[in-house]
Structure 1
């Protein structure tokens, strides 16, 4: 495999008004380990917008997806790439997979002051930080914006004798460790959801047999091979296998049924009092100026209003929850506290 790209030497929510945020440290830690770049894709366009010029100067925009190809961060990064074509010109996406995004984060933290660098992030990374007992902190980056939400779906292979969420719950009650769940990284949304379901069933979340993967594609492969009893995934990541009849959806984790899977009940409809929705966002390196930060926020929020981005959101079934400025920082702080508490309660903390 090729080595990760070296840091560049040249430095560079809802609709309506979105205030800008004042940066501040976030008191939580994340792992620092070597990264591996797996995929690089470049798209070139002729011009850039004024807001892109303010944010990037003469640098090419680069977006890190801190996961292997095929998962939600990869999809989001490439959706950003497409939607930014007319705003930011030449744009590159590259993958750095592993450990719930914390490997990518440890590399991204080395890009101090480089305002032409972005990284996708979200709830999975927040959970991985707590679960891994990591060494770096989210103060090593500059949060810019929340972009989307994505409901989770619990599935089984089509050949499984488990027909409903009730069947899966009964199997879990009989012998929880025998029910293996395939999903994303340790401490991520999928493992949290599996733990919450077990807890609601009166079982020990620490006994959940969870098979972690660094990318959505790997988790799907594990399921299709029959190496796991059930799987948990973002709907957009596994919808193709559901449509092809390879997977049977049992329940979604959202408060209400989702448009992409209208016949699939929610967990609460299935008698399990659990609701959990994944969210994704974007950050820049630490060390950028206030002016660069605001220009990047302007660029990202302008991206969310493009026809290209809106079409992708509708096609993937993502929730459009664009949010920047102090409101996003407050949201992120709350998510860190809430998710760390859940990880601790479920016995998934790295300190365990």
Structure 2
């Protein structure tokens, strides 16, 4: 009798796994409609729906630096039907300890965009990257960022600290466009930006990327050194990807990973990446995405603690 019950239970579990998804899904973002994260989620959702055979509703939980989105998904069952669009913003709040959750409460599925942090300067301000670094050994440069305690702030601090130069004097601005404008105007020496945020100024020959904070050079910036090539162990990106609540069955996680990778391999998503100045290397599966999140969490915690955001 026990054997029959066991076999029946296994059959039910197997059927449930095969049936996934057995209802429509939700994809939760922390940005408002029309924002970069929202657009990324909508693109991936629309391309994944035919593959899953179910609709995916975008749920915008804006507020609290991403905390509302974390809380919402935490309150839902760990069955794979509620997917969180996870970004550097939420990662920062988790690193600060502002969230009820930690990184271990989430299972990474796939990465959609990997937009490296780039140090940019006014063109012809420095002869080369070596002069850029040498100049900071005797005098701190001003770094324009979008807000204190975020990925830009951490990038400026981590780079100058690990380069053994004067710690960056960070000046926060309301938008990335304002940072790019201030580089040109001479309001700041350096801007911490993503490639797409300064496309206009770069095309006009006003702003030049000088160091990319990534593991390898960007295809769109083949002549720009990475920090690691310069002996500075810093790799930080503005990322967007997908995670589910811890406890979600392994086979469901694997199905979502396979589905999203297939969806993001389609020409429509490749064009979306191209418009951001990115390429197919942005797309990654669970293993790469997990490793990046762990390394970024460690880097952010170390820097935020030294900056005084973590007691």
TM, length-normalised to structure 1: 0.62
Q: Which residue of the other structure, out of 219, 225, 233, is the alignment partner of 2:193?
A: 233
Where do 1:207-286 residues align within 5 Å?
Answer: 208-211=169-172, 218-225=175-182, 228-267=188-227, 271=230, 273-278=232-237, 279-285=239-245
Give unmatched runs, 5+ long, in structure 2.
1-16
Partner of 2:268: 308
Q: 1:104 to 1:181 in 2, by over 3 A?
A: farther
Larger Rg: 2
Measure, in 2, the Cα distance between the counterparts of 1:257 and 1:184: 26
Are 1:84 and 2:45 counterparts? no
Partner of 1:35: none
The answer for the alignment partner of 1:144 in structure 2 is 109
Q: Check 1:222–1:90 CA distance in 2 against 1; reply closer, same or farther (3 A cut).
A: same
Per the TM alignment, residue 166 of structure 1 is displaced from its structure 2 partner at its CA by 4.6
Distance in 2 (CA, whole Å) between partners of 1:187 and 1:79 is: 26
Match of 1:350 in 2: 309
Q: Counterparts in 2 of 1:42-191, with a 5 A limit? A: 54-55=20-21, 57=23, 59=24, 61-66=26-31, 71=36, 73-74=37-38, 76-84=40-48, 86-87=50-51, 88-89=54-55, 91-92=57-58, 94=60, 96=62, 99=65, 101-113=66-78, 115-122=80-87, 125-130=90-95, 132-138=96-102, 139-156=104-121, 161=125, 164-166=128-130, 168-169=132-133, 172-176=136-140, 179-183=142-146, 186-188=149-151, 190-191=152-153
CA change 1:238–1:112 in 2 (3 A) is farther
Provide the residue aligned with 1:8 in structure 2: none
When the two chains are superposed, the root-mean-square deviation of aligned CA atoms in Å is: 4.1
Runs of 5+ unmatched residues, structure 1? 1-50
With over 3 angstroms needed to count, the CA separation of the structure-2 counterparts of 1:97 and 1:236, relative to structure 1, is farther
Q: Which has the higher helix share?
A: 2
* Pick aligned residue for 1:339 from 299, 303, 306: 299
- What's the TM-score, normalizing by structure 2? 0.69
Q: Does the CA-based 8 Å contact 1:77-1:93 persist in structure 2? A: no
Change (3 A) 1:329 1:322: closer
8 A Cα contact 1:180 1:230, kept in partner: yes
